Amino acid sequence: MNVRQHLAENPTCLAPLAGWSDSIFRRLCKRAGAGWVFTEMVSSDGVLHRQSKTMEFIEFCESERPISIQLYGGNSEVMARAAEMLAFHRPDGLDLNFGCPVKKVIKTGAGSALLRDLPRMTEIVRRVVAAVDLPVSAKIRAGWEEDHAVEIALALADAGVQMVTVHARTQAMKFSGKADWCIIQRVKAAVRIPVIGNGDVRSAVDAEQMVRQTGCDGIMIGRGSQGNPWIFSQVRARLAGLPVPSEPTAEEVDRTLLEHAAEMVEHYGEKRAMYMMRKHLLCYLRGRPLFNRYRSMLVNSNSWTALRDNLLVLRLAGQRFDDMLNTESDR
């Protein structure tokens, strides 16, 4: 795969999002205009032992390409063997997670723990790069507590990664505070490999500002895509200087939500799918008039048809509410 060519065609990337970016969501984002998509992180041990959850996380279909599987682990030998096994699934790339701040992951010397152990981080990269015939990329944070992203990115490029994604926060920040895009700017100026900017892109305007400020080669969007796959076509259009598609109407949102739910039902079975849809639903419907009043009814929809009917109730109530407000303002 030619990394630069893919980014030139479509610089938008769907972030790896544990518990969110499954095959169904990735396909939905692709249809909505996303370029490169990433699986949620899978553990190298889970891959080696072919754990059922891990194997489910790495399933993908052709329409998701280009797709990278994201791998994490703290042991270079295990990471290389896991990478070799993943290569048999023929993804377009492997992405190494050096940014996860979750305690359970750090405890094993993986994820962002590697930000303070560059020799081990680069050893992992070298072994993985040698083990597979695929582009290997890395996703990093700025550092553990302090920013030393340039040093990290230079070491990674030297060890053989073909692309680096910079989430412009330190490990200590977790998801709080504001992402500092100057960090992305400095990394872009320092390395020759493509740099993907990540952190706090919530709109097409944000994406354009990030590209302008940092010169990054791609934009990775995480939370901004939750309940909002439309962001990809909006960002793509804005970056290409084309008219930005307007925000979807309530009807379009409901249609997409139901499509999403139908695919989930087909994939996971109705009971599991309806449970998994709850978090998506809360994101799709945030800000909708009267949502709080109908929230409990909606999240407790226990079948696809119940969800469809409940959505209609919400939409009609919202329309009546809007009509009432308009009549009031006409008086």
Ligand X SMILES: Cc1cc2nc3c(=O)[nH]c(=O)nc-3n(C[C@H](O)[C@H](O)[C@H](O)COP(=O)(O)O)c2cc1C
Minimum CB separation of residue 71 from ligand X in Å reads 10
Contacts with ligand X by CB under 6 A: the residue count is: 22
Q: Which one of 17, 113, 140, 257 is in contact with ligand X (CB under 6 A)?
A: 17
Q: Does 101 bind ligand X (CB under 6 A)?
A: no
Q: Which one of 10, 76, 97, 122 is in contact with ligand X (CB under 6 A)?
A: 97
Positions in 29-48 near ligand X (CB under 6 A): 40-41
Quickly count: other Cβ atoms within 10 Å of residue 126's Cβ: 16
| Pair of tokens at residue 207 | 């994406």
- Among residues 100, 182, 216, 283, the one annotated as catalytic is 100
Name the residue whose CB lies closest to ligand X.
222
Phi, psi of 147 (to 5 degrees): -80, 115
Q: Which one of 35, 74, 99, 218 is in contact with ligand X (CB under 6 A)?
A: 99
Minimum CB separation of residue 90 from ligand X in Å reads 21
Minimum CB separation of residue 34 from ligand X in Å reads 13
Q: Does 243 bind ligand X (CB under 6 A)?
A: no
Query: Where does this chain touch ligand X (CB under 6 A) — which range of 46-54, 96-104, 123-131, 240-248?
Result: 96-104
Exposure string for 138-168, b = 16+ CB within 10 A, e = fewer: bbbbbbbeebbbbebbbbbbebbbbbbbbbb
Positions in 120-179 near ligand X (CB under 6 A): 139, 167
3-state secondary structure (DSSP) of residue 53: helix
Positions in 201-240 near ligand X (CB under 6 A): 201, 221-224
Query: Where does this chain touch ligand X (CB under 6 A) — which range of 60-68, 95-103, 112-120, 296-304?
Result: 95-103
Using CB under 6 A as the criterion, what x/- string covers residues 247-286 for binding ligand X? Answer: ----------------------------------------
Phi, psi of 98 (to 5 degrees): -120, 30
Quote the CA–CA distance of 251 and 318 in Å, as a whole number: 11
100 catalytically annotated: yes
Q: Does 180 bind ligand X (CB under 6 A)?
A: no
Minimum CB separation of residue 330 from ligand X in Å reads 41
Q: Does 200 bind ligand X (CB under 6 A)?
A: yes
CB-nearer residue toward ligand X: 134 or 201? 201
3-state secondary structure (DSSP) of residue 38: strand
The verdict on whether omega for the bond into residue 11 sits within 30 degrees of 0, i.e. cis, is no
Amino acid at 92: D
Element (H, E) at 219: strand 218-221
Minimum CB separation of residue 174 from ligand X in Å reads 10
Q: Which one of 33, 91, 194, 199 is in contact with ligand X (CB under 6 A)?
A: 199
Contacts of 172 (CB under 8 A, 6+ apart): 144, 145
Point out the residues that are catalytic: 100
Residues within the interface to ligand X (CB under 6 A)? 15-20, 40-41, 70, 97, 99-100, 139, 167, 198-201, 221-224
